[in-house]
Amino acid sequence: MKHVNVIKTFRSYGGPEEGGWYYDSARDVIASATARSEKEVKETVELFTGLHKLGWDPNDCASVKITVTDERPEDKIFERPGYE
C-alpha cells in the first residue's frame, strides 16, 4: 500500500546577514490518499495534479509537491537555523 501526498513547504526570513536569507520553516500535508496498486497511484497523482492546476494557490507557499511514500505523511515544523 502506498500513500500519495500533496505537501506545501513554507519559507521564512532568517535574517539580514549577507543580504538576507531564507529557510524552510514548515511542511504541511494538505491532501493524502491511500493507493493499493500502481494503477491507483498513477490515477491519484493525476487527480492531485489536476486539482493543483485548478485552485491551489502557489503564491502562499514556497513549493507544492506530490510525493508517493510507504508511510503516512507527517506535518513538520522546523526550528529556525542559526546563521554561521
**Domain layout of the chain by residue ranges:** 2-77
Amino acid at 22: Y
Backbone CA torsion sign across 48, 54, 55, 59: positive
Tens of each residue's pLDDT in the chain, 84 residues: 899 988 888 888 888 888 888 887 777 888 889 999 999 999 998 888 877 665 556 566 667 788 898 988 876 666 777 776
What CA–CA distance (Å, rounded) separates 68 from 65?
10
Backbone CA torsion sign across 23, 26, 31, 33: positive
Q: In the structure grid, which three cell numbers stand for residue 13, read together?
A: 526570513
Q: In the structure grid, which three cell numbers stand for residue 51, read together?
A: 486539482
